[in-house]
Amino acid sequence: DIVMTQSPDSLAVSLGERATINCKSGQSLLYSSNNKNYLAWFQQKPGQPPKLLIYWASIRESGVPDRFSGSGSGTDFTLTISSLQAEDVAVYYCHQYYTTPRTFGQGTKVEIK
């Protein structure tokens, strides 16, 4: 199974400041034949299902604010919230869809400082 490891486990950021979450996979998620990274990011608020934010490591899902961005390739990926808003308080998960079993990171809780 591909192990996904996020850091940090929790993060407190002031409103309007940048939040950065890292995700490391146990093997490369870059598929050479199409040069795509099979990595997604989700946001989950209490009592709700996860919400897809980013796929192919850096493509924002329709409707997702542009303060959310994804970067990275291979085994190291980053989700950045450029200017944290109150509504961004949530747990964020990275997810690999390179192979089955699909696996998720353990989650990073983002709070307001």
Partner 1 sequence: QVHLVQSGAEVKKPGASVKVSCKASGYTFTSYHIHWVRQAPGLGLQWMGMINPGLNSTNYAQKFQGRVTLTTDTSTTTVYMELSSLRSDDTAVYFCARQTMAVWGQGTTVIVSS
Site residues (vs partner 1, CB under 8 A) = 1, 40, 42, 44, 49-52, 55, 61, 93, 95, 100-107
Reduced 3-state DSSP string for 76-98: EEEEEECCCCHHHCEEEEEEECC
Which of 97, 103, 93 has the alpha carbon at shortest distance from 1?
103
Write down the least CB distance from residue 10 to partner 1, Å.
13
Task: Pick the closer one to partner 1 by CB: 82 or 103.
Answer: 103
Place of tokens 């919230």: 81
Write down the least CB distance from residue 62 to partner 1, Å.
8
Task: Pick the closer one to partner 1 by CB: 11 or 52.
Answer: 52
β-pair type (103-104, 10-13): unpaired
Write down the least CB distance from residue 96 to partner 1, Å.
10
